[in-house]
């Protein structure tokens, strides 16, 4: 059964770039879409973007100017880069697999990794 695990720094300074990696185990990253989702303190879940294993991407318009999602099929990993971070980007970041590229549900999810933006 496919499992996801996020990794990366838990503390990022304002104006710097947040970088996270999601490692996929128990299955191949190929032939699927992969997504990043976050939850800010006291708020609901927010979809950040997705990448198809071929490298095609789609981002949430509210974050599009600052987000890059990449895939490394040789390592069965995909990554998130969010630039020019502020305190508003403090959140728990999850990686998850959407059913389709234009709808459906997310399953499975990683356990999430907390990221704090602070100097």
Partner 1 sequence: QSVLTQPPSVSGAPGQRVTISCTGSSSNTGAGHDVHWYQHLPGTAPKLFIYGNSNRPSGVPDRFSGSKSGTSASLAITGLQAEDEADYYCQSYDNSLSGWVFGGGTKLTVL
* Residue in the structure block whose two tokens are 């981002």: 59
Nearest residue to 29 via CA among 64, 86, 67, 70: 70
If one asks whether residue 4 binds partner 1 (CB under 8 A), the answer comes out as yes
| Cis bond upstream, residue 73 (ω within 30) | no
- Single residue of 10, 31, 41, 44 touching partner 1 by CB under 8 A: 44
If one asks whether residue 60 binds partner 1 (CB under 8 A), the answer comes out as yes
Give the residue with the Cβ less far from partner 1, 96 or 115. 96
- Alpha-carbon dihedral sign for residues 98, 57, 85, 43: negative
15 SS3 class: coil
Interacting stretch for partner 1, rule CB under 8 A, among 18-26, 42-50, 68-76, 79-87? Answer: 42-50
If one asks whether residue 102 binds partner 1 (CB under 8 A), the answer comes out as yes
If one asks whether residue 10 binds partner 1 (CB under 8 A), the answer comes out as no
């Amino acid at each position: 059964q496919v499992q996801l695990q996020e990794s990366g720094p838990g503390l990022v300074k304002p104006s710097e770039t947040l970088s996270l990696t999601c490692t996929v185990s128990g299955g191949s990253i190929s032939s699927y879409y992969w997504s990043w989702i976050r939850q800010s303190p006291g708020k609901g879940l927010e979809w950040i973007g997705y990448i198809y294993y071929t490298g095609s991407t789609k981002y949430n318009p509210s974050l599009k100017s600052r987000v890059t999602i990449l895939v490394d099929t040789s390592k069965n990993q995909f990554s998130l880069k969010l630039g020019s971070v502020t305190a508003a980007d403090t959140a728990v970041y999850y990686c998850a697999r959407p059913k389709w590229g234009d709808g459906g549900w997310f399953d499975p999810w990683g356990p999430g990794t907390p990221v704090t933006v602070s100097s």
